[in-house]
């Protein structure tokens, strides 16, 4: 029954306008089938027989309270991997972190990193493993660090917080890091691993909407990773988001962007250092 429910152009416009106005995400007509497919399960779960009735419910005060979080989880794209774009992590440990430590001039500060658009946690855990390896290899630095990981989807944040992944998912992680940072499930048939507490305790997962007027971080950060996230926004929104992100970065701090993204043509306080790695001016 529910597989035959179709999304009309009128209801698609209602939903796509809402998504763009509230979350900045582009939802052009070519994505109508994708949106229809992703929301089918919600209609079934709610026993709603049409997208028109679903829209009426979603935009009601009751729906905004009860359904909105499920709607967001369905419409956001959460493609991510451990060690995605690995050259970023090479530059992080071979250039960026040493420069930051040098700027401290012998004072032992805490390195603050923000994974903005962290999805299910693979990026912040990769960052944590890389920084911890660096700290272990350079004990004289006595490097302390913390990582903020944010996303708009509560579902992916819960996955990140739980820190449990399939063995297939952690395939890109080096064997030495697997031995050091991953715990195998006692139920071997499940083929699951969990990040060790030493790494989990370094990361705080929080919900954040890039469309908020400002980003309420408790303190400014040294490094922002915002990779393969803003491609889903239009150009003016991308520029606005990057400028808001830059306001959270300490002077001289660093901004990592996905290789599919660019700041070309944007008025942002960043200068390029390496491909898709920038320093705040």
The pLDDT tens digits of the residues spanning 127-172 come to: 999 999 999 999 999 999 999 999 988 889 999 999 999 999 999 9
Topology (CATH) of 2-75: Chemotaxis Receptor Methyltransferase Cher; domain 1 (1.10.155)
Which pTM value belongs to this model? 0.82
Collapse the DSSP code of 272 into the 3-class scheme (helix H, G, I; strand E, B; otherwise coil) and give the result.
Answer: strand
278 has which bridge partners? 255, 272
Query: pLDDT grade, residue 79 (50/70/90)?
Result: confident
Provide φ and ψ at 97, rounded to 5°: -65, -45
Topology (CATH) of 87-280: Rossmann fold (3.40.50)
Alpha-carbon Rg for the chain in angstroms = 21
Residue 17: count of CB within 10 angstroms of its CB = 11
Answer for the pair 17, 55: CB distance below 8 angstroms, yes or no: no
Is the pLDDT at 2 greater than 70, yes or no? no
* Alpha-carbon span 203 to 162, nearest angstrom: 11
* Alpha-carbon span 280 to 101, nearest angstrom: 16
Q: What whole-number percentage of the chain has pLDDT above 70?
A: 98
Sheet holding 192-195, edge to edge: 164-166, 192-195, 182-184
The domain limits of the chain are 2-75, 87-280
The residue-averaged pLDDT of 56-77 equals 85
| pLDDT tens-digit map of 182-220 | 998 877 788 899 999 999 999 999 999 998 988 989 899
* Alpha-carbon span 191 to 202, nearest angstrom: 25
Closest CA to 265 of 235, 243, 227: 235
* Alpha-carbon span 189 to 169, nearest angstrom: 16
Sheet holding 249-257, edge to edge: 203-207, 144-151, 110-116, 221-226, 249-257, 277-280, 270-274
Closest CA to 179 of 166, 192, 165, 196: 196
Q: What pLDDT is attached to residue 4?
A: 65
Tokens of 35: 């949106």
Burial class of residue 169 (count of CB atoms within 10 Å of its CB; 0-12, 13-18, 19+)? middle
């Amino acid at each position: 029954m529910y597989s035959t429910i179709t999304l009309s152009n009128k209801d698609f416009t209602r939903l796509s306008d809402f998504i763009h106005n509230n979350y900045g995400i582009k939802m052009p007509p070519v994505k109508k089938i994708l949106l229809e497919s992703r929301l089918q399960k919600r209609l079934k779960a709610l026993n709603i027989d049409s997208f028109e009735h679903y829209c009426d419910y979603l935009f009601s005060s009751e729906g905004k309270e009860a359904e909105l979080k499920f709607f967001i989880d369905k419409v956001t794209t959460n493609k991510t991997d451990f060690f995605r774009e690995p050259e970023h992590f090479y530059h992080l440990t071979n250039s960026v972190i040493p420069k930051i430590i040098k700027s401290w001039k012998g004072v032992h500060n805490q390195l603050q990193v923000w994974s903005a658009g962290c999805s299910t946690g693979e990026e912040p855990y990769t960052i944590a493993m890389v920084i911890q390896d660096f700290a272990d290899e350079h004990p004289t630095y006595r490097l302390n660090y913390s990582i903020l990981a944010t996303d708009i989807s509560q579902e992916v944040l819960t996955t990140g917080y739980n820190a449990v992944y399939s063995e297939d998912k952690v395939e890109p992680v080096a064997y030495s890091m697997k031995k050091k940072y991953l715990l195998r499930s006692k139920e071997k048939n499940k083929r699951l691993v969990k990040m060790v507490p030493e790494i989990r305790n370094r990361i705080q997962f929080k919900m954040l909407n890039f469309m908020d007027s400002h980003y309420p971080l408790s303190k400014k950060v040294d490094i922002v990773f915002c990779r393969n996230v803003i491609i889903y926004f239009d150009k003016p929104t991308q520029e606005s988001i990057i400028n808001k992100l830059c306001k959270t970065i300490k002077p001289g701090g660093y901004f990592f962007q996905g290789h599919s993204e660019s700041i070309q043509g944007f008025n942002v306080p960043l200068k390029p250092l390496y491909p898709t790695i920038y320093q705040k001016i």
